[in-house]
Amino acid sequence: MGSDRLPAGIGMTDQVAPSRERIGAVGDFRDSEVKVCSVFGRSVGVIRKGDEFFGILNVCPHRGAGVCEGVLGGTMLPSAPDTFNFGMDGFVLRCPWHKWQFDIRTGKTMNQIDDRSLKLVPVHVEDDQVYVGSETGPSSGAGEDE
Ligand code: FES
């Protein structure tokens, strides 16, 4: 835990093996829904927010729950006394085990309750197809693995 490296097989840069895997067409993903896919044998949650896609390794950094089985929604934001400010709707993933909340854009816990973060996985669209892994392939230098 605590490593920023991607899981084995995702975003590989130093091997000839494919560094990305097609997981479907854009139309296969409903907005604001977490779709769990198997990518190079690893469970990855893919979330579509309009034209943007986010990928998350389906492992909670707290105790290892399948975090992508949790609820995607919003959260209460810091606010003045006696006021309630709900926001970030559709960008907060709540782990099903102990309810830690994570920002899907950064992987960080809400309100920085802990330094551990979700492992983000690159997702991109090409010719209306959705891919998980390195966009530019083995020579990109990004997302290196062990
Ligand atoms: S395992 Fe996810 S919050 Fe504890």
Q: Which atom of ligand 1 is nearest to the CA of 64?
A: 1
pLDDT over threshold 90, residue 144: no
Which tens digits make up the pLDDT trace of 60-92?
Answer: 999 999 999 999 999 999 899 999 999 999 999
Residue of 69, 98, 116 best suited for mutating to test ligand 1, as the one with most atoms within 8 Å of CB? 98
Residue 100: CB within 6 Å of ligand 1?
Answer: yes
Q: Which atom of ligand 1 is nearest to the CA of 100?
A: 3
Distance CA 50, CA 123 (A): 14
Residue located nearest, by CA, to atom 3 of ligand 1: 98
Token pair recorded at residue 32: 């604001």
Residue 119: CB within 6 Å of ligand 1?
Answer: no
Residue 63: CB within 6 Å of ligand 1?
Answer: yes
- For residue 141, what pLDDT band results from cuts at 50, 70 and 90? very low
Going from the Cα of 94 to the center of ligand 1, the distance in angstroms, rounded, reads: 9
Going from the Cα of 75 to the center of ligand 1, the distance in angstroms, rounded, reads: 17
Please report the DSSP string for 134-145 in residue order.
-SS-TTS--S--
Q: Which domains does the chain have, with CATH numbers?
A: 31-133 (2.102.10.10)
Which tens digits make up the pLDDT trace of 7-17?
Answer: 555 654 444 56
Strands of 129-133's sheet in order across: 20-25, 129-133, 123-126
| Predicted TM-score (pTM) of this structure | 0.81
Residue 10: CB within 6 Å of ligand 1?
Answer: no
Which residue in the block uniquely carries the two structure tokens 């669209």?
125
**Residues 46 and 104 sit within 8 Å (Cβ to Cβ):** no
- For residue 146, what pLDDT band results from cuts at 50, 70 and 90? very low
User: Is the C-alpha dihedral spanning 30, 32, 33, 39 positive or negative?
Assistant: positive
The DSSP call for residue 64 is: -
